[in-house]
Amino acid sequence: MARSDSDVEVEVSSESPLDKRRDGGHIQWAAEPMLEKIISVVPGLLYVFNQNTQSNEYTNRSLGEMMGYTAEELRQMRDTFLPTVCHPDDMARIVDYFGQIRRLQDGDVAEIVYRIWHKSGGWRHLLSQDTVFERAPDGSVLRHIGIATDITVQKNAETALQEMNETLSVINRELEELTYVATHDMKSSIVNISGLAAALADVVDPNDDEAHELIALIQRSTSEATNTIQSIVTIAQNRERMETAPASPQDLAASFAEVQRALQPQLDALNATVTTHIPPSLQVIFPPLQLQSVLKNLLHNAIRYHTAARPLVVTLTARPAKDGGVQVWFADNGRGVDLARDRERIFQLFQRGGNHDLEGSGIGLYLVRQMMRRARGAVSVQSTPGGGATFVLGFSGTG
């Protein structure tokens, strides 16, 4: 980094790409014309620092002026410039950083971010990147060259983003708590209503058909409400698990085989055929339990929405994607999806495609999309009505 703006007379080796010139009583280093052009367009501060004299031998512009100080103010501060304007918490790191520069190997680049007080008020964040420019005969670093860039805008954006993330985390925790309290309290009330309805059924006249029918309707309604609450809890828990479960490389074929084994009795009952085309050892980056959940939901979906017109056939095809991820096509020959109506609907909470003649909670595909998105992936559907559906999973290369 640029320690000060003072220009000091020094001897330089003849190999230096910079020329020495006398200007206003100080020796400065003038660049070759082309180099000078390049230097003039470099944003921030370019400097050559001499370790022996502990001062800059060349700077393309003044750090002090960049920070809004007048020449007179800089003259008065001179050697105390840096301690005066640098953030006190950063000074010790800067001293360490100079030691680090002295230990640099040729070609290595050291960097540091520190804060300088701008005269107009407020800290400016500077990023300095330094590398060895010239060594002394004993091999020690004689000069280093560096660039100091004002990254305040970027730092402020990072800080704002971090603050926003923290705010969102707080909101998320509050929503989770709300979900917990709401589901618990609703479930308590519903369980009580259900229990009271059962108690009522015990005491009303056994021959009062209307009363028993009404009680049965209460029981059905409480059962539906309980299922809805259970679905909400499942979603909340899935979210919580995704947050805590780390993604790691998973063998896709092995994961799917496990899911298939779990659902084999239902597949056998439908005389279903399941075929996979997965390159050996193909891995996806995903939390293991969530990967199985995604595949299980899709296979379960294929089983539920099979058509009686033909035996169920499920085909899973996977290929490495160009972006380092994996693309998976999960195809069935079931009822298919009316894309004009249901392309997005089927992935929405408590929404189901088709004519709702089958039992379903309406959260399976919602969970699939939620899990894929959490792992920076995507899911979409292709289909022709009556001709089956193909769910396309795009697994990210990083998970």
Question: Which residues make up the interface to another protein (CB under 8 A)?
Answer: 180, 183-184, 187-188, 191-192, 194-196, 198-199, 229-230, 233, 237, 240
Q: Is the Cβ of residue 157 or residue 191 nearer to another protein in the bound state?
A: 191
The span from the CA of 331 to the CA of 306, in Å, is 12
Q: What single-letter DSSP state applies at residue 387? A: S
- Provide the token pair at 358: 């089958």
Q: Report, in Å, the least distance between residue 188 CB and another protein.
A: 5
Q: Is the Cβ of residue 38 or residue 199 nearer to another protein in the bound state?
A: 199
Q: Report, in Å, the least distance between residue 216 CB and another protein.
A: 17
Asked if residues 367 and 319 have their Cβ atoms less than 8 Å apart, the reply is no
The residue with tokens 């189901």 is: 352
State the sign of the Cα–Cα–Cα–Cα dihedral 259, 264, 266, 267: positive
Q: Is the Cβ of residue 158 or residue 185 nearer to another protein in the bound state?
A: 185
Asked if residues 18 and 145 have their Cβ atoms less than 8 Å apart, the reply is no
Q: Report, in Å, the least distance between residue 230 CB and another protein.
A: 6
Q: Report, in Å, the least distance between residue 183 CB and another protein.
A: 6
The span from the CA of 337 to the CA of 381, in Å, is 8
Asked if residues 314 and 273 have their Cβ atoms less than 8 Å apart, the reply is yes
Q: Is the Cβ of residue 241 or residue 345 nearer to another protein in the bound state?
A: 241
Q: What single-letter DSSP state applies at residue 349? A: T
Q: Is the Cβ of residue 199 or residue 254 nearer to another protein in the bound state?
A: 199
Distances (CA, A) of 380 to 169, 367, 369, 372: 28, 13, 8, 10
Let me know how long the chain is.
399
* Strands 378-383 and 313-320, sheet pairing: unpaired
Q: Report, in Å, the least distance between residue 63 CB and another protein.
A: 54
State the sign of the Cα–Cα–Cα–Cα dihedral 97, 101, 104, 106: positive
Q: Is the Cβ of residue 6 or residue 226 nearer to another protein in the bound state?
A: 226
Distances (CA, A) of 84 to 56, 169, 256: 18, 38, 64
Residue 188's identity, in one-letter code, is S
Q: Is the Cβ of residue 4 or residue 238 nearer to another protein in the bound state?
A: 238
Q: Report, in Å, the least distance between residue 195 CB and another protein.
A: 4
Q: Report, in Å, the least distance between residue 219 CB and another protein.
A: 12
Q: Report, in Å, the least distance between residue 180 CB and another protein.
A: 6
Q: Is the Cβ of residue 189 or residue 398 nearer to another protein in the bound state?
A: 189
For residue 330, list its beta bridge partners.
316, 391
Q: Is the Cβ of residue 184 or residue 310 nearer to another protein in the bound state?
A: 184
Q: Report, in Å, the least distance between residue 258 CB and another protein.
A: 21
Asked if residues 231 and 361 have their Cβ atoms less than 8 Å apart, the reply is yes
The span from the CA of 198 to the CA of 219, in Å, is 8
The span from the CA of 15 to the CA of 295, in Å, is 65
